[in-house]
Amino acid sequence: LYKNKVVVSVVNPLSIKRFIQMKLAKVKTDKSDAKAICEYALINEVPLYNALTDTQSECLQLFRLLDTYLKQLTATKNKIHGEAVLGIPSKFVYRSLIRNKKQLNKEVAAIESKILSLVKVDQQEQLTLLTSIPGIGQKTALFLIVVTDGFNKFETASQLCSYVGITPTIRESGSSVRGRARISKVGNRKLRNLLFLCSFNACKHNKACKEVYERIVNKGKSKKLALIAVANKLLKQCFAIAKSGRPYDETYVSILPR
């Protein structure tokens, strides 16, 4: 549709599902769903769709394939370990698994090299800036650049945090309902997982993240909650550095206008 110059909007299907449920509809058919989707688009301001560039599309495909190979590699490593601890392991099976592991490692290295070469064409400077942040590795920086279109898709850091699904949700009502605060998880799960893994290193070597981690832990909160807060802080640092074009500086202090 987009290529044929038809105006398109891509909306989270959960929003439309909740809209239909709100109407207390008793009938669910293709015709009734189409009508409800039309009503949703007329009532709400739906954002216009902007297609991915060829480079972005290829990078996302490569990341998906990379995830598949990494899962296979983990399964193969576990299988090798399982075979090794057997009383009488089959030499043929063991050698076959070793060959498979080598091939998967080769494919993973090739994909990572290809992603790096594609991003470097247009975003070499931004890649250098992001990897200057202690805790942000090359893989996370590459994925951030690809899914955010070089951070052009977002105007504020809070928008980016919401997209990743790393913002807290609060459930409170009156004096009886005091729900536990959790992150929304309505967002890009892969990026959220990558940032959480980065937080382990960031809370040790990133000054601002270390302060956040220690402050939350000293309040008696769980370490997992502190790591999630660190991931949120990391994402905001990435946004600020990408937008400013300045490398990471642990002595920098932002001065907010009064």
Judged on CB neighbours under 10 Å (0-12, 13-18, 19+), 108 is: middle
What's the token pair of residue 218? 């000293």
**For residues 79 and 117, what is the distance between their CA atoms, to the nearest angstrom?**
33
Q: Looking at residue 258, what is its pLDDT?
A: 40
Q: Looking at residue 206, what is its pLDDT?
A: 92
Q: Looking at residue 255, what is its pLDDT?
A: 47
* Residues in the chain, pLDDT under 50: 170, 177, 255-258
**For residues 130 and 134, what is the distance between their CA atoms, to the nearest angstrom?**
9
Residue 183, classed as helix, strand or coil, is strand
**For residues 226 and 204, what is the distance between their CA atoms, to the nearest angstrom?**
12
Q: Looking at residue 187, what is its pLDDT?
A: 67
The model's pTM: 0.74
Answer whether 226's CB lies under 8 Å from 257's CB: no
| Alpha helix positions (H), 132-252 | 138-147, 157-164, 189-205, 207-218, 223-244
